[in-house]
Structure 1
Amino acid sequence: MLFNSYQFIFLFLPIALAGYFVLGRLGNLAPVIWLALASLVFYSVSNWQFVLLLLASIAFNYVIGLLLLSKWLGPGPRFAALAIGVAGDILTLGYFKYAGFLAANLNAIFSTGLTLNILLPVGISFYTFTQIAFLVDAYRGKVARYALPHYALFVTYFPHLIAGPILHHKDMIPQFERAEAKRPDAHLILCGVIIFAIGLFKKTCLADGIQPLVSLAFGPNAPTFDQAWIGALAYTFQLYFDFSGYSDMAIGISLMFGIFLPLNFNSPYKATSIIDFWRRWHMTLSQFLRDYLYIPLGGNRHGPVLRYVNLMITMVLGGLWHGAAWTFVVWGALHGAYLCINHAWNNYGPAIAPRFAPVANAAAFILTFLSVVIAWVFFRADSMATAIHVLSKMANPTQIAFGRVEMTYTLFIIIYAAIALFAPNTQAIMGYDHKNRTVGPAPGALPLRPLLLYASAAALAFGILGIQQQSEFIYFRF
């Protein structure tokens, strides 16, 4: 089921909210079970054949977690339990997501003739990473003992289940345990509706609106220089507003239930370095890769050379997490190389005199943005050949069409860039702070409250009118 669908907005969400708050009068456990069951219904609408896999994953990891939390297991058995749990999760993810990729590469190298047609369960990357973090923290002694309904809801919670964010047990399960979260809060519901409306507008009007321009670079016809750049930039902003829209909608939906989701998106195209970009883009994935891969590999504790090796390994695996294709591997490797260069410049580059700081910051912003756009070409392309072809056209200014159509499309790109770079983001407008569990316009914005409400109503109306059939979020594929 899609957030940007009539059945979700007018049927599923109202029923889920009503049941949650009605059952909240009966105690703390009933609404938790209700929301977990509602989340399974949400998942089963389009992925019914994988509900049992999801339930098996929850049961397996919960049992392993209990073993890790038990006091009668020694260090050796506890490590063995962790190894079994993590290996089980990775093998399951590997089979469904990467077995076909492996078979295709074996066929290409050895002409083995292997054929695997494995359907990818939607959301498996997200709920697998969520549970791996739970197991690792349980082994480290950073997890309290949780009841099964709360753990099941933590994994299946529908605002995050399909396309993130990657949740952390420390942030979420205590919220599910709080009694006050089961009672309707008019302020949180209103703020949730506003944030949801903004996200819906971003998805159905902005992201879906610019999607046709992407085919200029990635369509069947060979692009000219300007068409390749228009198509690449169109995808850059389509992905931006698609992912930003989903993140806003997930936060808004969760707020209606009185639950605060972590931020996953913070105006990444305003970044002035690749390090800054990854602090703003898919923030929960960045934190997971840092805490559960980069630091365990050694991080920066063993000298600069191994630090760069660890960065490359982390980002290549992060790229492969997004999809089983060499294009994603190259995308991750590019960002790994970018990060290595960024850290090397910070450590060994010349100091910038204060009077040159504005120029240096502008140059850093442009270089960062162009580097991201180039990497997105590999992220979007369906093959390495397509990516190289598009990049070759982007590097060849001798072939330019730039007719009336291209001029109009360029104007669209400029408008989208202006919104992404100069407009305040949703959390700034709404004062959303998930760590302190607060939301609401900043004090200086209080006089604008009526305007904000009118704008949100308009965004919701346009967002609903802009709904298209089967307009999936891009991160559903990962």
Structure 2
Amino acid sequence: MLFNSFEFIFLFLPITFIIYFLLNRFRNQQYAIYWLVLSSLIFYGYFKLTYLAIITISIVVNFALSRVISSTNSRWRKTYMIIGVIFNIIILCYYKYTDFFIGNINSLFGTNFALLHLLLPLGLSFITFQQIAFIVDSYRDGTAHYKFSHYALFILFFPQLIAGPIVQHDEMLPQYDTKGNRKIIYEHVARGLFIFAIGLVKKVVIADTVGIWANEGFANYSNLSFIEAWITSLSYTVQLYYDFSGYSDMAIGLALLFNIKLPVNFYSPYKARNIQEFWKKWHMTLNRFLTTYVYFPLGGSRKGAFRTYINILIIFFISGFWHGAGWNFVLWGLMHGFASVVVRLFSKTRIKLPYLLSWFMTFQFVNIAWIYFRATSIEQANTIIAKMFTPNMTAITNFFTEPHTNFAQAGAFNILGLSFSDPIVIVVGLLITLVIAFTALNSIQLMDKMKFNWGAIIYTQFMIALVLVSIYYMQKNSIFLYFNF
């Protein structure tokens, strides 16, 4: 069940919302928690029932280990913590990386072991990091005071279950028992629906539309011209931005309907002036997890410059491999790691680049790195990049004057009589979406500016318009890109 599906918006969400607050009013908070857990299980099981067994076993084992770790003072506490971390890593590696390792063993040693073709349970990468953080925090601070139902909701809460944010127990579990959260707060409902509507538009109107050009370009990568290669890379850069931003907005909005505040996970990253700033704005909770549970335990920046640079490369290697089981993801992560090291080294020179130059360099680096992130192989990515840096004025002229086949399939889509294979539509569409990403207030800023007075009527009308436009586009009903990770 997807956030951008009819069954979610018009069936699952209203039923879950109404029953949750009815239980809060006529029974008690604990029954309402049970209902949210059950609803989240239904939401998760809708994708595939076998997922439920995997995630349920994982939750039970992790909660039991956290209780043992928190309630004992013996020297075995650290051992139990290590067991818990390894347990979670093994589950993730089995489902996500088994075929990757088998394939590489076959390539290296000429063996012919059969691939298992295991289906990765949705959200397992996010759930794994969240449960590892809880296990480690149980060792550091103790978590024995939490109820099992609250822990289950902490892991399963459907707005953040599939693709984050990666939340921490101390920012989430106390909210479940806050008395003021047990009734409908209409300001939260208004803000939640507003940012959900913005996220829905980002996903179904912008990301899915621009994604048509990205998919066509990568499918025909060997035949791309100079300008088509740039359109392909920028299309994916735009698609991923609005897809992940849209999901993040929708998750925050959905949680707010239930008076739960999720951490911000996305904050105008394409406005960043260097890679370090980019990672403070893109997938912010992943960066927080890797910093808290990997970078700092490795010594952070406390053990000299060389060790600091190694630690940075380690966390970005993990980030790349966490995103996907492929060498292209590893390379993407290491590219960002080396770029972060370069930024640190450059900062010591005290040379300040002009704002526009530093921003442009950062964005172009991110844009090129995304090609490895999207490509099915390093060879495919290298081919596209090579074409991007082989200028050809004839190719530019031909793109606008002659029929071309690399984006021909996009012609099957049109709106208001405009064909998505029309070069003018492609270029103007990309420019508009990029300018919005570079200059406009982000959805969090818009939500924070929302005031409950006569001006709220304008917001409400705007939100209704967004939803109506989105419903028109929802017929495509595509998954969010980060569901794949």
The TM-score by the shorter chain falls in which range?
Answer: over 0.9
Match of 1:471 in 2: 478
Matches within 5 A, 1:173-322: 173-220=173-220, 222-322=223-323
Q: Distance in 2 between matches of 1:401 and 1:363?
A: 25
SS in 2 for 1:84: helix
Instruction: Spell out, residue by residue over 1:216-249, the C-alpha distance to the aligned partner (whole angstroms, 9 max, x if none).
Output: 5312251111100011001101000000100010
Q: Distance in 1 between matches of 2:225 and 2:107?
A: 32
Instruction: Spell out, residue by residue over 1:393-445, the C-alpha distance to the aligned partner (whole angstroms, 9 max, x if none).
Output: 111113724423434422211101111111111111111xxxxxxxx6269xx
Match of 2:404 in 1: none
Residue 468 of structure 1 deviates from its aligned partner by 3.0
Q: Distance in 2 between matches of 1:406 and 1:306?
A: 49
Counterpart code for 2:374? R
Q: Distance in 2 between matches of 1:193 and 1:370?
A: 34
Matches within 5 A, 1:316-335: 316-335=317-336
Match of 1:396 in 2: 390
Match of 1:441 in 2: 450
Counterpart code for 2:423? E
> Is contact 2:70-2:142 (8 Å) kept?
no
From 364, 367, 392, give the equivalent of 1:370.
364
Q: Does 1:456 align with 2:450?
A: no
Instruction: Spell out, residue by residue over 1:333-367, the C-alpha distance to the aligned partner (whole angstroms, 9 max, x if none).
Output: 000011000111112x2334xxxxxx611110000
> Is contact 1:166-1:284 (8 Å) kept?
yes
Counterpart code for 1:351? I
Q: Does 1:103 align with 2:96?
A: no
From 375, 378, 385, give the equivalent of 1:381.
375
> Is contact 1:82-1:136 (8 Å) kept?
yes
Residue 182 of structure 1 deviates from its aligned partner by 2.2
Match of 2:50 in 1: 49
Give the RMSD, CA atoms, in angstroms: 1.4
Match of 1:435 in 2: none
Structure 1 residues 232 and 375, CA, compared in 2 at 3 Å: closer, same or farther? same
Residue 465 of structure 1 deviates from its aligned partner by 1.4
| % identical aligned pairs | 40
Residue 50 of structure 1 deviates from its aligned partner by 1.3
> Is contact 2:66-2:144 (8 Å) kept?
no
Structure 1 residues 447 and 15, CA, compared in 2 at 3 Å: closer, same or farther? closer
Q: Distance in 2 between matches of 1:380 and 1:142?
A: 40
Match of 2:73 in 1: 73
More displaced 10-residue stretch of structure 1: 398-407 or 19-28: 398-407
SS in 2 for 1:301: coil
More displaced 10-residue stretch of structure 1: 140-149 or 266-275: 140-149
Residue 464 of structure 1 deviates from its aligned partner by 1.5
Q: Distance in 1 between matches of 2:476 and 2:209?
A: 14
Q: Normalised by the size of structure 2, how large is the TM-score?
A: 0.92
Residue 447 of structure 1 deviates from its aligned partner by 6.2
Alignment gaps of 5+ in structure 1: 353-358, 432-439
Counterpart code for 2:340? L
Match of 2:137 in 1: 137
Residue 461 of structure 1 deviates from its aligned partner by 0.9
Q: Distance in 1 between matches of 2:18 and 2:127?
A: 26
Residue 470 of structure 1 deviates from its aligned partner by 4.2
Q: Distance in 2 between matches of 1:2 and 1:278?
A: 27
> Is contact 1:143-1:170 (8 Å) kept?
no
Q: Distance in 2 between matches of 1:152 and 1:408?
A: 47
Structure 1 residues 178 and 350, CA, compared in 2 at 3 Å: closer, same or farther? closer
Q: Distance in 2 between matches of 1:100 and 1:117?
A: 7
Q: Distance in 1 between matches of 2:229 and 2:217?
A: 4
Q: Distance in 2 between matches of 1:160 and 1:392?
A: 38
Residue 19 of structure 1 deviates from its aligned partner by 1.1
Structure 1 residues 470 and 447, CA, compared in 2 at 3 Å: closer, same or farther? closer
Match of 1:156 in 2: 156
> Is contact 1:200-1:464 (8 Å) kept?
no
Residue 144 of structure 1 deviates from its aligned partner by 5.4
> Is contact 2:67-2:144 (8 Å) kept?
no
Counterpart code for 1:319? G
Q: Distance in 1 between matches of 2:428 and 2:190?
A: 35
Runs of 4+ in 1 over 6 A off after TM superposition: none
Q: Does 1:338 align with 2:339?
A: yes
Counterpart code for 1:339? S
Q: Distance in 2 between matches of 1:346 and 1:170?
A: 34
Query: When the two structures are aligned, how many residues end up with a matched partner?
Result: 459
Q: Does 1:112 align with 2:107?
A: no
Residue 469 of structure 1 deviates from its aligned partner by 3.9
Q: Distance in 2 between matches of 1:87 and 1:253?
A: 33
Counterpart code for 2:380? T
> Is contact 1:237-1:417 (8 Å) kept?
yes
